[in-house]
Amino acid sequence: MSLELCSFTNCRVPRALVVFLLLPCFISGCSTARTIDYKEAALVRAAAEVADAERLDVGIILFDPGTSADSVADEKKLIFPEVRQAEARYMPYQLKTTLESSGYWGSVWVVPQRSDAVDLTVTGRIDLSNGLDVSVHIGAWDATGREWLNKAYTVQVPEKAYSKIREPGQDPYQTLYNEIANDLLAFRQKMSASELRTLRNVAELRYGAQLVPEAFAGLLEQDRAGIYKLRRLPATDDPMVSRMRAVREREYTLVDTLNEYYANLYYDIGKPYEDWRKMSREEVIRYRDLKRSAFVRGSAGALAILAAIIYEGSGGDNSAVTMTGVIGGIEGIKSGLGKNTEANISRESLKELGGSFNSEAESVVVEVEGQTRRLTGTAEERYQEWRRLLREIYSAETGTPGVDAAEAAAISPPAG
């Protein structure tokens, strides 16, 4: 008796056997262990004290939360507006503390909108944040309009980042903030001491031009690229300059007050926010695993049914094989639907976690010329109202007409 080798395409029973041997692998997930390399970046810290003249003041604008008008679409992407609004205030403050701890910068503030009172402005947009993956787009421009940063930062967070045994002040997303701070420092270190001083002078004169354009006209010029250049410095005894600096100091007082509010918010939501991220990380992993398992199980079920149909259609005469394939396929599809339902439940759990945040802004009380003023509304509205008061003060002291917010915006367009 001779043995004849048969191919996969013309040997009926072995072909079916191959399908059913592979089926358990598909239904169980048929996946290999995933190894994730978590990158960690250490913050570069100053080895010696940096001269005051070389310390730039930084304003970090409240981040764009990255939410859309379509709440349903956001939820499908596991984006929860309540959490994002809190993060839009929390993240800038964590970046502020990171920059301060490096020892390379002057005053660092979180601000509601751009201001010429600072030398360097940092903006951010949250593209992804779920406790496991975080991605933000960061932009940075100095007072001359020169771009420092315009890039996306993406980090995957390891479980150990949520350990209670870690350095004080270290956030689970700390690697992200360290990377941003290190990149800002790398750009700053390319500048000479003279360039840094010029940058600070340009920032001061732009602030003066925002208050009274006529008094500071001709001191700065813009090139075709929109970069501000210093033409000349005002006289050291110019009374307009001393008054402008006094108003600028009052604005610093305002942002100090606002930062006390942001600090309170930062510490108030710190613990629940970290708990949310930790639970969210677990739920995101579970959700992704369930969705992947649902797809694999459903696909395996459909494949089993298809194999049974092909087997019978090609002349297969073993009804037990056909029925086993059909029944196994149906069970696979049912299992996949079950996993998909579990994934949806997991997503709802994330939604409930996100809904636990409340970041309503409270009113801020400030003192102006011995009078107490209460600023209400959003942080941006309060900031605009305060700056309007400052212009009124400057106008009264100098006898020059003030500049309203719209005119100021036209005089001082966004850097970059």
Tokens at 73, concatenated: 């679409």
pLDDT at 319: 54
Residue pLDDT, tens place only, 371-412: 566 666 666 676 777 677 777 766 666 666 555 443 443 333
* Cα 80 to Cα 65: distance, rounded to the nearest angstrom: 10
pLDDT at 288: 64
Mean pLDDT to the nearest integer, 276-294? 71
pLDDT: is 309 or 106 the higher one?
A: 106
* String of DSSP letters for 34-94: P-------PPP--SSPPPGGGPPPEEEEPPB----S-HHHHHHTT--HHHHHHHHHHHHHH
pLDDT at 202: 94
Reported confidence tier of residue 137, pLDDT bands at 50, 70, 90 = very high
Q: Would you say residue 188 has pLDDT above 70?
A: yes
pLDDT at 141: 97
Mean pLDDT to the nearest integer, 15-32? 46
Reported confidence tier of residue 228, pLDDT bands at 50, 70, 90 = very high
* Cα 148 to Cα 187: distance, rounded to the nearest angstrom: 6
pLDDT at 3: 41
pLDDT: is 6 or 47 the higher one?
A: 47
Q: Would you say residue 64 has pLDDT above 60?
A: yes
Residue pLDDT, tens place only, 327-371: 554 554 444 444 445 444 544 544 554 454 443 445 556 665 555
Mean pLDDT to the nearest integer, 147-155? 96
CA torsion through residues 177, 182, 185, 190, sign: negative
Reported confidence tier of residue 38, pLDDT bands at 50, 70, 90 = low
Query: To the nearest whole number, what is the mean pLDDT of the chain?
Result: 74
Reported confidence tier of residue 272, pLDDT bands at 50, 70, 90 = confident
Residue pLDDT, tens place only, 203-214: 999 998 887 777
| pTM score of the predicted model | 0.70
Residue pLDDT, tens place only, 74-94: 766 667 777 788 888 889 999
* Percentage of the chain exceeding pLDDT 90: 30
Token pair 């503390």 is found at 97
pLDDT at 285: 78
Q: Would you say residue 17 has pLDDT above 70?
A: no
* Percentage of the chain exceeding pLDDT 70: 59
pLDDT at 189: 95
pLDDT at 401: 58
Q: Would you say residue 10 has pLDDT above 60?
A: no
* String of DSSP letters for 236-257: TT-HHHHHHHHHHHHHHHHHHH
Comparing C-alpha atoms, which of 133, 136, 123 is closest to residue 66? 136
Q: Would you say residue 138 has pLDDT above 50?
A: yes
**Highest mean pLDDT pick, 29-38, 228-237, 261-270, 294-303:** 228-237
- Tell me how crowded residue 300 is: count the other CB atoms within 10 A of its CB: 26
